[in-house]
Structure 1
Amino acid sequence: MHFTSPISPRKARSLRVGFWTLLVVIAVIGVLVDRVNINRLKEIARTDAYEEVNLYRAKLESQINSNLQMVRGLAVAVSEKDNLNQANFTKIAAPLFDHSQILRNIGAAPDMVITWMYPLKGNEKAIGLDYNKVPVQREAALQAKNSKSIVLAGPLKLVQGGEALIARVPVFETESNQFWGLLSVVIDIEKLYNAVDLQTLQDRFNVGLRKIDNVNNDDKGFFLGSTNLLNKDALVLKINLPNQQDWELYAYPKAGWQADSASLWPFRLTLLTFLCLFTAAFVFLNRIIKQIQDNEQHLNTMSHLAEVGAWSVDMRTQEVFCSEVTKAIFETPSNFQPGWLNSVDFFEQGLHRRRIQEFMDRAIKLAQPFEDEFLITTDKGNMRWISIKAFPRVEKGRTVEVVGSLQNIDARKKIELEHDKIARHNELLARITTHEALLGNQLDLAHQLITDAVCSGLAAARSTVWLFDENKQHLIPTAFSHTKAKAWEQFPHGVPMR
């Protein structure tokens, strides 16, 4: 009896071709997916590195700017000081070194000639230096005088050893606004690095710092690190310094951008298993689909953690779309559907609501993208700072849609505002503690100075200083920021305590 094979040679060849084709397709897809996975993990590593390096950028920026802010207060005190001498200069300059880890010395140069120095010991040779007669110093000194702003030079090598930044701070007389001279502030660069613990960052990254103004020099403006960082895919973060004398911080991992091997190999082993078990190809396909879903879920999770949402406005239908993260930021129900007219009601009345309306108006009419920060009141009544980026989509010369992102920056913004408040209070404190009224024990003038400073620092219309009497039974008004005569008429005998 003749038995015919149920699989013909042609069908067998087709199955073999189909098998190898499937195997090659699976292999190619596997390699591509592996490359995507590597790139994804590299981007995650890069994002984590950016957050870490950004902390050091903020520390460097804060250290330099906070110290220059204190010196601004010293400049005000110097301009208001009559008959200044070395002893008086020492008295008003010394407190700055109690609050700074990086200051090396401060020199006062009335009429461009260094006359007083703190600390004086070890810096005696600098006394008498005339900036007008030293070409290396003259250009920066005149630039500070003419621009009426701080000029930051360096890092420069010092004769006594080490490197330092030198800030030229112009001083103008308070009443006449006449040029008084300069304050020369020397910031020890090594102490600056130690203050921000830069060595810890250098243990893992190739770190570079460069001045943006000097990018055309042979060293491309680098004063720390190598110019080779320009040829690498390094992180670049801007350090904002006074008067646009900004730096750039470069960071590149010593081993390059690497994907986490612990996250790579499980997928590769799975891929090899599926290549061997060709009969289970559909399982591999399901694994890919699951991997994509996991990736999408991971991206959604990252979006929730970073609190970055999406939104869009369709100009043709007047429909407003908000992602789930955006709704979470505004604390609205998941089924909430914002309208074209009530969307701006979340923004604080006044400046913030007017600005978002103006920005949207320009985006629609002029196709202008925008990015700004706004204060909103959520659906639950909570005030929150957000950052909005928007980009108009134009067709045939008309804006048909405005799309953008929205991020919750409330924590960072409050920290920035608190830092600004602290810097403002530090400046007022520097002015008060170095004022001649306190140093000269002029009580009436000192009382007026303190109440005026309280009004300025707290944005208050009036302030009063009260002291207990000897029996601690009455509060006695001691100083008023408004007219003293009227104040005493209002409180002639103090206020009894209950």
Structure 2
Amino acid sequence: MRLKKYNYFQRVYLPFVIASVVMLVGAVYSERQNSIIHTQDLRNSIRNQLAGYQASLEGALNADIQLVQGLVAVMSTEPDLNQERFEQLGEMVIGSHSGISHLAAAPDLVISLIYPIKGNERALGLDYNKNDAQRRAAYKVRDSGQMVLAGPVNLVQGGSAFIGRFPVFIGTGDDRRFWGILSSVMHADKLFAAHGLTDPDLDIEIALVGRDSMGPQGEQFFGETAIFEDDPVVLDISLPSGSWLIAARPKGGWQARAANPWPWRLVMLVAGTLVLIPFFAAGRLSAARKDIIKTLMRRERQLETLSRRLEVAVEVSKIGIWEYDVKTQEVIWDQLLREIYGLERQEPISLDIWKGFIHPEDRDEAVKTLMRAAEEGGYHTSEYRILQSDGNQRHIRTMGTTFKDGAGGMRMIGVNLDVTRDVHLREKLIEANHALMQRNNELEEARIAAERADRAKTEFLANMSHEIRTPMNGIIGMADLMSESNLGEGERQYLDTIRDSSHALLKIINDILDLSRMEAGKLAISPVDFDLQRCISGAVNLLRPRAREKGLWLSLSFEEGLPGLMRGDDGRIRQVLVNLVGNAVKFTHSGGVDIRVSKVAGDPYHLQIEVEDTGIGIKPEQAAHIFDRFSQADAAITRSFGGTGLGLTISSILASRMGGGITLCEDKQDGACFTLQLRLEPAEGVVQLEEPEQLPDIDRLDGVRILLAEDNKTNRLLVRKYLAGIKCELSEAENGREAIALCQDMLPDIILMDMSMPEIDGLAATREIRSMNLVQPIIVALTANAFDSDREACLAAGMDYFLQKPINKTVLLQTLAMLRASQLEQKQALG
């Protein structure tokens, strides 16, 4: 019984079960395969459409960026271009086909140049420094030195746009500096519309990610957020400063399974039992086929529309498109690329024909780049020259990418740009830079020659100062010593003449050196707090004895309300006043000189000092040159009164550096009148009145050991005479080497060290003495040089004090006494 049931099951149910299982497995397998094929076909179709949008956007953006980079190259050679010039260049860049809506240049990060200016007036004057986000974006462009594509961002004048920011640098090498930023603006809505992304008839939904060219890390700026969450087809849009991601899915989302009719599935279940079902299934399949054909035709029309849009976009951007099948080596060029290479429409094209167009010098590198990209995949770019059939040479920039097609084969697609104009512009820029470098070299040589001449002049002045002051030291010193002798009236007159002439010559030397320091910018103004009336009165009182000798009055008056204390360089103010009042006394034979001090326009620190005399006066034709160097009213005055004509020149320069100037009063009938204006400041503290200076006790020098290092015999004699009345021990050395030896033997308390000596000069001798293991003496510099640098060199070498030749006896003795007193106090403090 059990066996009978088993046989029945085998005969009846088992075939049915097996058939059912087979049909079910076949139906499931067919369903899966149909769904996979449907999904693959749908994704490939979307990928093909998306590749067109990718190429369209990438080509248009890169073409516009290349145009703007050409403008950046021009601006780096014309940093001072105006709005009119900027509009000319902007029109060349934007033209009638560019996707750029307008350009804006921001020298020093402030927008001051715009093209076109109409409709963009609100952006003028925009300062990136006042907006944190814009300032960071600008600094990013400046620091990277590369173009940055930002956006979409909201514009000041309304709307949103993509902004390409290009850094502009001027100069080369160490002189290269950041000029500002050039921005190109592409309206986002216009860009999306121009490339068909907003077409309502699209059967796909598109989204873009990568705000500010940040690729996958950037924010989404176009399309619905849900698109990226629904496993979309994604392609990379390569940009010079980053990338975007473009994604797409079918409108409404992916279908869960293939759109096959249910009757067909029923046919798979009951195919062996019903006869009508196959006819019904065939009918349903026919209807489904018709629907598929309609869908394919609609997609074909959409693809044709998209292809036309892509063709228009490529034609507008002047970009040639090529394709290359790595396996079959089939090459496809569009018509624009054929025009770039000079090929007719019907002429065949191949890899070898392309190689034949390339310039022989560039061929190997261009072919290697293409083959390497074909093997390794990814994005590649290169530049090379081509020779057209008519002999013309063009410069080509190629960009391409490698991908797998639906059949699993490797294909390449890319674009060619004719960048001949950019290359020529770059060559002109290089030529201009070369000319600029050559000019810079010439200027550098001129600068070196000028510095060499300036050093020669400085050395000459130093030598002149030393050579003149050295004998002057002997003349003035001996004259001072002779004045202490009992002389007759005639001899006294001769001696006074020698002394006056020597001091006049010394003043001329000082004036020439002051002028030299001013021209070199080494004569500094050193402001201090000082008493105004004490300063001016002191300068005027210096000239009262001379005025009394000539029988002249010398009056000084101050306006009420002037501050007692001010801040300025009181030493230079005295120098200017001594020059002005001294000239007034010199050129006045009868009458006198009036000095009036007042304030200008109620400002108590804007001083006006008038010096008016009743002297010989100045003619109008002479007034124009009165402040010129080495210039006086006329040659007769020079013969009568002497002088170099530098006093007023130096005074005018000093007054100018103190914020004022000197002018000659107009309409002065008799005599002359000069007006000195000075801009001073309020005192910062309280000026203490100086206590009467107490002269050092000369008796302190009794028993002091003094070493005199001086190569000039006259100067040694002079110092010996100055110290004749002092009970001191004086030794003499004629050069630095001898001074070092004597210092070790006699252990002097004070050394009088001349700077310029044979064998070893004073500076080197001082440094060697300071390095010795002995009780260090006080070292006083004796020099005929008059520059501040000489004083600094002496102190840097280890000297303690500085005396300038010609040396006055009183000054020498007081200085030695002061230094000796300080030395003794230090010894007592040390026990």
TM-score band (shorter)? Answer: 0.5 to 0.7
Distance 1:425 1:277 in 2: 74
Letter in 1 for 2:151: G
Deviations 1:211-248 (A, max 9, x none): 1666899xx7111122222321111111111222x111
> 1:466-477 residue pairs with structure 2 within 5 A?
none
Query: 1:46–1:116: structure 2 CA closer, same or farther, 3 Å change rule?
Result: same
CA contact (8 A) 2:23 2:269 kept: no
Q: Which residue of 2 aligns with 1:427?
A: 422
Query: 1:99–1:327: structure 2 CA closer, same or farther, 3 Å change rule?
Result: closer
CA contact (8 A) 2:237 2:245 kept: yes
Letter in 1 for 2:168: V
TM-score (norm 2): 0.35
> 1:398-413 residue pairs with structure 2 within 5 A?
407-409=410-412, 412=413
SS at match of 1:203: coil
- Aligned-residue offset at 1:273: 5.1
- Aligned-residue offset at 1:122: 2.6
Distance 2:214 2:262 in 1: 45
Say which of 82, 85, 89 aligns to 2:82.
85
Q: Which residue of 2 aligns with 1:41?
A: 38
Deviations 1:86-116 (A, max 9, x none): 1111111112221444322211112222221
Query: 1:177–1:420: structure 2 CA closer, same or farther, 3 Å change rule?
Result: farther
Q: Which residue of 1 aligns with 2:14?
A: 18
Q: Which residue of 1 aligns with 2:135?
A: 138
1:169 aligns with 2:166: yes
TM-score (norm 1): 0.56
CA contact (8 A) 2:327 2:409 kept: no
Query: 1:143–1:388: structure 2 CA closer, same or farther, 3 Å change rule?
Result: closer
Distance 2:36 2:63 in 1: 39
SS at match of 1:103: coil
> 1:1-400 residue pairs with structure 2 within 5 A?
10-21=6-17, 22-81=19-78, 83-173=80-170, 175=172, 176-200=175-199, 203-211=202-210, 221-244=219-242, 246-258=243-255, 268=265, 270-272=267-269, 274-276=271-273, 370-371=376-377
Query: 1:60–1:82: structure 2 CA closer, same or farther, 3 Å change rule?
Result: closer
Distance 2:370 2:123 in 1: 55
Deviations 1:277-333 (A, max 9, x none): 69xxxxxxxxxxxxxxxxxxxxxxxxxxxxxxxxxxxxxxxxxxxxxx998559xxx
CA contact (8 A) 1:114 1:127 kept: yes
CA contact (8 A) 1:70 1:430 kept: no
Distance 2:74 2:102 in 1: 17
Query: 1:370–1:428: structure 2 CA closer, same or farther, 3 Å change rule?
Result: closer
**Long gaps (5+) in structure 1:** 1-6, 279-324, 331-347, 360-368, 375-384, 390-404, 438-444, 446-498
Segment drifting more, 106-115 vs 196-205: 196-205
SS at match of 2:234: strand
SS at match of 1:46: helix
**More RCO (CA 8 Å, sep 6+):** 1
Distance 1:179 1:143 in 2: 12
Distance 1:386 1:79 in 2: 33
Deviations 1:255-288 (A, max 9, x none): 333499676679646524525369xxxxxxxxxx
Distance 2:114 2:371 in 1: 54
Letter in 1 for 2:24: A
Q: Which residue of 1 aligns with 2:535?
A: none
Distance 2:155 2:371 in 1: 54
Query: 1:86–1:373: structure 2 CA closer, same or farther, 3 Å change rule?
Result: closer
SS at match of 2:94: helix
Distance 1:357 1:124 in 2: 51
- Aligned-residue offset at 1:386: 11
Query: 1:48–1:265: structure 2 CA closer, same or farther, 3 Å change rule?
Result: farther
SS at match of 1:200: coil
SS at match of 2:248: strand
CA contact (8 A) 1:113 1:131 kept: yes
SS at match of 1:199: coil
Distance 2:171 2:156 in 1: 35
SS at match of 2:164: strand
CA contact (8 A) 1:74 1:431 kept: no
- Aligned-residue offset at 1:430: 7.0
Q: Which has the larger radius of gyration?
A: 2
**Long gaps (5+) in structure 2:** 276-324, 331-354, 356-362, 381-399, 436-831
Distance 2:89 2:70 in 1: 10
Aligned residues: 326
Percentage of matched positions with identical amino acids? 31
- Aligned-residue offset at 1:202: 7.1
CA contact (8 A) 1:65 1:242 kept: yes
